[in-house]
Structure 1
C-alpha cells in the first residue's frame, strides 16, 4: 500500500498483480508506504477505510480528496501465478508448497475451498457508506496504471522493474477445470472484465 494523498491517490497493493513493481517505481513519492507484514502491504479497501483513511483525514486528507487505485488479474491466470509462486524452492516443505502438485489439483483445491486465495470483489469492497475503489486497472494494462500514477505525480512514466515474478511453468489447464475456476470466481471475472 502506498499513500500519495497530496497527489490525489492511494494505491492498494493486490497480490500477484505487479504491485511490487509499481511500488518499486513509485515508492519515493509516497507519504506512507506499507511493505511488511504482507497483510499490511496487501490491505483490503475495507481495512484501508477502517485504519488508514482516518489517519489521513486527521492529517488534512479527507477521503473525498483522493482516489483509491488497485490492479486486478484475470482469475484463472491469477490462480496459476499463485500455484507457480508456491512451487518455488524457498516454499518447499511448507504447508502451502505446491511442489509436486499439478495445477489441476491445485485448482480443484481452490474450487473446493480447501485453498482460499481471496477475491477481487472482496478486496475492493469498501465499508458501507464509503466511496468505492475509483480506479481498477487490469494486470495486463499495468503500464496504463503506471502512466496514470506518473501523470498525477507530475513525473516521467518509469520503466517498471520486474520484481517478485513467479517462476515460469508450462503446465496447462483442462478446459473443464478452467470452466470450474471461472464459475468459482464469476464475480471476480466480471470485475476484471469491467476494469480499465
Structure 2
C-alpha cells in the first residue's frame, strides 16, 4: 500500500496485479509505504478503512481517494497457479506441482479449500463486507496503460514499470463446465471486473 499525501491518494496492492512493479516505481514518491510481509503490503480495503484511513486523518482531515487494480478472475487464478508451481514451493502443501489448472480451480471451488488453492478472493480484498463500498478508482489489470496514465496525471510524474515477481510460464486451460461454476460461485469478482475502468477516460 502506498499513500501520497499531497495528491490525496492511496494505492492498494491487490495481489497478482503487478503491485511489486508499481511499488518499485512509486515508493520513492510516497509519503507512506507498507511493504514486506504480504499481510502488511497487501492491506485490504476493509482494513484500510478500519484503521489506516483513520491514522491518515490524524495528519490530513479529508480522507484520500483510493485506487487499485483488478484482474479477470480466471486470469488471476492462472497467475496464482503458475506462481505456486515454482520450485520454491515444491514439496509443500501450497505447491501446484503435478496438478492441472483444472484441478487447481476445482480446489478453489471446494469448501474447505486445500492449501494449494487457498489464495483469497479479489472481491473480498477490494470491497467492504458491511457497506459494500469499494475503491474509488478501480482499473482492469489488462488495461495497465490506462491505469498508469491515471497515476501519471494524478501524481504529476512519468512512470516506467519494470517486471518483478513474474510467475513461471505454464500452459493453462479450463473446461466450460468448471468455468461456468467459477463464474457462478464468484460472481462478485466478475461483476467488479466488468465494472472496472478499462480506458484512461473510463
**Alignment TM-score > 0.5, same fold:** yes
Contact 2:17–2:70 (8 Å) recurs in 1: yes
Q: 1:21 aligns to what? A: 21
How far is 1:126 from its partner? 3.0
5+ unaligned residues in a row in structure 2: which ranges?
198-202
CA–CA distance in structure 2, aligned partners of residues 74 and 171 of structure 1 = 15
CA distance 1:180–1:129, shift in 2 (3 Å): closer
Give the number of equivalent residue pairs. Answer: 193
Q: 2:200 aligns to what? A: none
- Bigger proportion of residues as helix: 1
Q: Name the SS for the 1:126 alignment partner.
A: coil
Q: 2:85 aligns with which of 84, 87, 102?
A: 87
What is the TM-score of this pair, normalised by structure 1?
0.92
Q: 2:145 aligns to what? A: 143
Q: Name the SS for the 1:47 alignment partner.
A: helix
Q: Deviations over 1:163-190 (max 9, x none)?
A: 1111111232222222222222111001
Determine whether 1:175 maps to 2:176: yes
Q: 2:195 aligns to what? A: 194
CA–CA distance in structure 2, aligned partners of residues 188 and 6 of structure 1 = 32
Q: 2:67 aligns to what? A: 69
Contact 2:84–2:95 (8 Å) recurs in 1: yes
Contact 1:103–1:171 (8 Å) recurs in 2: yes
How far is 1:118 from its partner? 2.1
Determine whether 1:55 maps to 2:27: no
CA–CA distance in structure 2, aligned partners of residues 192 and 162 of structure 1 = 23
Q: Deviations over 1:50-107 (max 9, x none)?
A: 22111110012431xx210010000011111101000001111222110111111111
Q: Deviations over 1:125-147 (max 9, x none)?
A: 23757964101000001121111
Q: Name the SS for the 1:137 alignment partner.
A: strand
Q: Deviations over 1:27-53 (max 9, x none)?
A: 111111111210111111110112211
What is the TM-score of this pair, normalised by structure 2?
0.89
CA–CA distance in structure 1, aligned partners of residues 79 and 148 of structure 2 = 21
CA distance 1:149–1:61, shift in 2 (3 Å): farther
Contact 1:72–1:136 (8 Å) recurs in 2: yes
